[in-house]
Amino acid sequence: MDYLQSKSAFKALEMLGFSKKVLIALFIQFMFIFLLIIAFIWFGIQAFSLGGAFGFLSKTVAPAAGFLLKKDSSKSFKDDSIGKVVDGSNSLLLGEGN
């Protein structure tokens, strides 16, 4: 009975387009992506928690790259708007102007 159930299950999967080869290929792809994610997390932890050349590079290159890649936002952002927001939040928090 178990043999018949397994055969019918594999036949149903084949009818859906999932043969044994496709399932194995999908499993290998999943494991490869999973290992890449684990490696990414591992290197991220190593870069930002320990000293050394790798940590130094990741801590200095990332902000420098962000600074170099940022767009010129001086047209859409004014320094006065920061002061207005800070003043408004201070007055709200301190209860002034009610």
For residue 32, the model assigns a pLDDT of 96
Spatial distance between the Cα atoms of 82 and 98, rounded to a whole number of angstroms: 22
pLDDT score of 68: 78
Its pTM stands at 0.46
Asked whether the CA dihedral 30, 32, 35, 39 is positive or negative, the reply is negative
Averaged confidence pLDDT in the chain: 78
* Domain locations along the chain: 2-72
Mean pLDDT, each 10-residue run in order, the chain (98 residues)? 81 83 92 95 79 73 78 58 73 67
Q: Is 42 helix (H, G, I), strand (E, B) or coil?
A: helix
Coil, helix or strand at residue 97 = coil
Tokens 């859906």 appear where?
16
Q: Nearest 5°: phi and psi at 57?
A: -65, -45
